């Protein structure tokens, strides 16, 4: 049975991470669109799959999994021999991978999410936007990106010299901010290494194709 991917009609965020892993690996899937505004993730049927009532969720022949990063790891391991190897092998390479994954989820994602909530989610629900929160968070993000500039001076990608799943994790929020709020934090002249890394990431054929399909 073809893998089912439950995603929002906006196609961004965690759904974009999972779609990118599937695209890089060339795995066929059926997208099932869920309307968040109509609370379709809060129905008893959906909550039986995802107790927190969110997307993305996959149904892999009856195996249900949620949380985009966990889904990415599962698919990367299941299809290790297809497409690029998105997970490292070897004790130290795995440790560096986990270090980079942790940096993304604890240092970057919360800050990105804060800006996404203010700049995109609140206006969509007609709520007042606190521009001070956006400005403060962008300053904090810039400081984190300065650290990334130093890291990416020594290595090509987030977890080393090979493209990996951690690079894909960064596609969760930054493209949404650039395309829908016009806030581009990743390509700045003062951070040439981050800019080089980001342009390489969003220039990957799999991502270009997904963007044409509406993911960002
Ligand atoms: N940590 C989760 C975040 C999932 C998430 O926040 N999904 C959003 C859409 S991108 C959602 O379903 N929001 C509806 C809600 O929380 O009620 C993941 O990576 O899968």
pLDDT in tens, 99-141: 999 999 999 999 999 999 999 999 989 999 999 999 999 999 9
Average pLDDT over residues 51-78: 98
Report the run of H or E that residue 193 belongs to, with start and end: helix 192-202
Domains of the chain: 3-78 (3.40.30.10), 91-204 (1.20.1050.10)
What was the pLDDT predicted at 195? Answer: 98
Q: Residue 215 above 90 pLDDT?
A: no
Residue list, ligand 1 pocket, CB within 6 Å: 8, 13-14, 36, 41, 53-56, 67-69
Q: Which of 54, 57, 66 to mutate to test the pocket of ligand 1 (most atoms within 8 A of CB)?
A: 54
Backbone angles phi, psi at 58, to 5 degrees: -115, 150
- Interatomic CA distance for residues 50 and 77, integer angstroms: 22
Backbone angles phi, psi at 171, to 5 degrees: -80, 0
* pLDDT band of 9, cuts 50, 70, 90: confident
175-190 pLDDT, tens per residue?
999 999 999 999 999 9
Q: Residue 160 above 90 pLDDT?
A: yes
């Amino acid at each position: 049975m073809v893998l089912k991917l439950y995603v929002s009609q906006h196609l961004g965020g965690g759904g974009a991470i999972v779609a990118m892993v599937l695209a890089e690996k060339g795995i066929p899937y059926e997208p099932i669109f869920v309307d968040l505004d109509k609370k379709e993730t809060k129905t008893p049927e959906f909550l039986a799959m995802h107790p927190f009532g969110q997307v993305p969720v996959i149904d892999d022949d009856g195996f249900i999994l949620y949380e985009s990063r966990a889904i990415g790891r599962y698919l990367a391991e299941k299809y290790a021999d297809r497409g690029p190897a998105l997970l490292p092998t070897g004790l130290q390479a795995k440790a560096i991978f986990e270090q980079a994954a942790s940096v993304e989820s604890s240092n970057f994602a919360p800050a990105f999410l804060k800006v996404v909530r203010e700049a995109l989610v609140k206006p969509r629900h007609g709520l007042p936007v606190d521009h001070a929160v956006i400005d403060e968070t962008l300053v904090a993000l810039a400081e984190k990106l300065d650290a990334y500039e130093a890291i990416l001076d020594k290595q090509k990608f987030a977890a080393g010299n090979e493209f990996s799943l951690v690079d894909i994790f960064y596609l969760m929020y930054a493209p949404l901010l650039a395309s829908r709020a016009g806030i581009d934090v990743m390509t700045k002249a003062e951070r040439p290494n981050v800019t080089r890394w980001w342009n390489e990431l969003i220039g990957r054929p799999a991502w270009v194709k997904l963007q044409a399909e509406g993911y960002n």
